[in-house]
């Protein structure tokens, strides 16, 4: 049985993305443009320096770190850079900077996914997809001259995309996932469409309007290819061959939206905008039920917290009251026995 362990992270804004680095470390990115690592054993948070590009970055270009993804061999972490239109790559497990990817996007990078150990795809609000090749043997690193002082951040390379494609019919790419079974990329755009790209040719092959879909901000893919798309008041299950909805899973708590989704085998985990995590059994076609009371569904509820005031946000006195945080990201560790959920203004559990 999961048991909550709330952790205070101080004055940190919304957490948008997270991944388990190991059985004791969780990396996460925030709206205030911080890349952090939390050690669950030491209960300590460390900041990882973000990487500036070759042009420099002003505060106007920093909208937060919206994505972080680890390649299949767990040797590289891809995430956002200091400029929100760039990507940054770090070596694992040391988190030493490897390179920054630039000159692909003109707007914030919202999501990214690995195709294999070398090739990475990023999607942006500028409606473009960028394909990157991350091969250290092909990179040029700046030389450290004799007598130069050692920098706080080790030297790193600069790379440019292999290809950039505009997603036809999209308005701001919001989420991406890689369907290994069908060798395709699935994209969500904020105008309510889902788009498919062939991962081998990097060409667009299908776009379909989602049925009555508002606030479609997250997508997950089951190993057999089934898609799950989180919307305002329900989660859609889509046939990967046609993108037709095969089931509409109504949220038990409507009005707050689905903010995160993931598959763990046949269990779909759903994070909501009101601090609740729900579990839907795909085979049984229903939410997991309590073994004590079968009339009740299993729900993990994040404890309430106080809102911190940030300069760019109008809270209207909201920070004085306790509230339920939105679960923008959640992730299981490799054993499937520990679950990290991170929220706005911000507490991992």
pLDDT in tens, 128-140: 999 999 999 999 8
Say if residue 184's pLDDT is above 80: yes
SS3 call for 110: strand
Measured CA to CA, the distance from residue 172 to residue 190 in angstroms comes to 6
Say if residue 85's pLDDT is above 50: yes
- Residue 153 has a pLDDT of 63
Residues 6+ apart with CB under 8 A from 223: 180, 181, 263
Taking residues 223-232, report their average pLDDT. Answer: 93
Measured CA to CA, the distance from residue 4 to residue 99 in angstroms comes to 37
Residue-wise pLDDT for 15-57, tens only, equals 999 999 999 999 999 999 999 999 988 889 999 999 998 876 5
DSSP string, 148-204: PPPPSS---EEE--SEEEE-TT-SSEEEEEEETTTTEEEEEETTTEEEEEETTTTEE
Measured CA to CA, the distance from residue 48 to residue 63 in angstroms comes to 17
Residue 348 CB-density burial (10 A; 0-12 exposed, 13-18 middle, 19+ buried) = buried
Residue-wise pLDDT for 249-291, tens only, equals 988 776 678 999 999 999 999 999 888 899 999 999 999 988 8
Look up residue 244 and give its two tokens.
Answer: 């037709």
pLDDT band for position 1 (50/70/90)?
Answer: low
Lowest mean pLDDT among 141-145, 170-174, 205-209: 141-145
* Higher-scoring residue by pLDDT: 215, 160: 160
Measured CA to CA, the distance from residue 67 to residue 111 in angstroms comes to 5
Question: Looking at domain 214-305+321-348, does it have CATH number 2.40.160.20?
Answer: no
- Residue 146 has a pLDDT of 53
Taking residues 77-96, report their average pLDDT. Answer: 96
Topology match between the domains 12-141+154-166 and 214-305+321-348: yes
Tell me the fold of 12-141+154-166: Methylamine Dehydrogenase; Chain H (2.130.10)
Measured CA to CA, the distance from residue 47 to residue 31 in angstroms comes to 14
Give one word for 157, left, alpha or beta, with left for phi > 0 and alpha for psi -120 to 50.
beta
Measured CA to CA, the distance from residue 217 to residue 17 in angstroms comes to 13
Sign of the dihedral defined by the CA atoms of residues 301, 306, 309, 314, in that order: positive
For residue 152, report the phi and psi dihedrals to the nearest 5 degrees: -60, -40
Beta pairing partners, 38: 26, 45
Residue-wise pLDDT for 295-339, tens only, equals 788 888 877 765 555 555 544 444 445 567 889 999 999 888 888
Look up residue 281 and give its two tokens.
Answer: 């059994």
- Residue 208 has a pLDDT of 94
- Please give the model's pTM, rounded to 2 decimal places: 0.88
Mean pLDDT of all residues belonging to the chain:
86
Measured CA to CA, the distance from residue 89 to residue 76 in angstroms comes to 7
Sign of the dihedral defined by the CA atoms of residues 30, 32, 36, 40, in that order: negative
pLDDT band for position 154 (50/70/90)?
Answer: confident
Domain boundaries, the chain: 12-141+154-166, 214-305+321-348
Percent of the chain residues topping a pLDDT of 90: 63
């Amino acid at each position: 049985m999961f048991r909550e362990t709330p952790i205070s992270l101080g004055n940190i804004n919304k957490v948008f993305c997270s991944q388990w680095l190991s059985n004791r470390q969780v990396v996460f990115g925030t709206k205030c443009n911080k890349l952090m690592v939390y050690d669950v054993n030491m209960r300590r948070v460390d900041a990882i320096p973000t990487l500036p590009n070759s042009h420099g970055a002003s505060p106007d270009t920093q909208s937060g770190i919206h994505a972080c993804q680890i390649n299949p061999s767990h040797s590289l972490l891809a995430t956002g850079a200091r400029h929100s239109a760039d990507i940054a790559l770090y070596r694992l497990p040391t988190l030493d900077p490897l390179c920054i990817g630039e000159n692909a996007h003109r707007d914030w990078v919202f999501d990214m996914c690995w195709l294999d150990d070398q090739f990475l795809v990023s999607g942006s609000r500028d409606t473009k997809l960028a394909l990157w090749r991350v091969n250290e043997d092909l990179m040029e690193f700046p030389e450290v001259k004799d007598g130069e002082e050692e920098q706080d951040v080790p030297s790193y390379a600069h790379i440019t995309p292999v290809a950039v494609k505009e997603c036809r019919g999209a308005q701001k790419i919001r989420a991406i996932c890689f369907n290994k079974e069908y060798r395709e990329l699935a994209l969500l755009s904020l105008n309510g469409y889902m788009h498919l790209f062939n991962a081998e040719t990097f060409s667009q092959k299908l776009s379909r309007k989602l049925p009555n879909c508002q606030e479609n901000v997250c997508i997950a893919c089951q190993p057999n290819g089934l898609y799950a798309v989180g919307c305002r008041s329900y989660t859609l299950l889509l046939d990967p061959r046609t993108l037709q909805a095969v089931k509409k899973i109504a949220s038990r708590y409507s009005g707050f939206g689905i903010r995160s989704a993931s598959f763990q085998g046949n269990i779909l985990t759903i994070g909501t905008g009101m601090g609740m995590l729900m579990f839907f059994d795909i085979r049984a076609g229903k939410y997991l039920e309590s073994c004590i009371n079968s009339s009740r569904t299993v729900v993990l509820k994040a404890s309430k917290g106080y809102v911190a005031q940030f300069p760019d946000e109008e809270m209207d006195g909201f920070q004085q009251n306790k509230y339920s945080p939105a679960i923008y990201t959640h992730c299981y560790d490799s054993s499937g026995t520990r679950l990290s959920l991170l929220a706005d203004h911000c507490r991992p559990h």
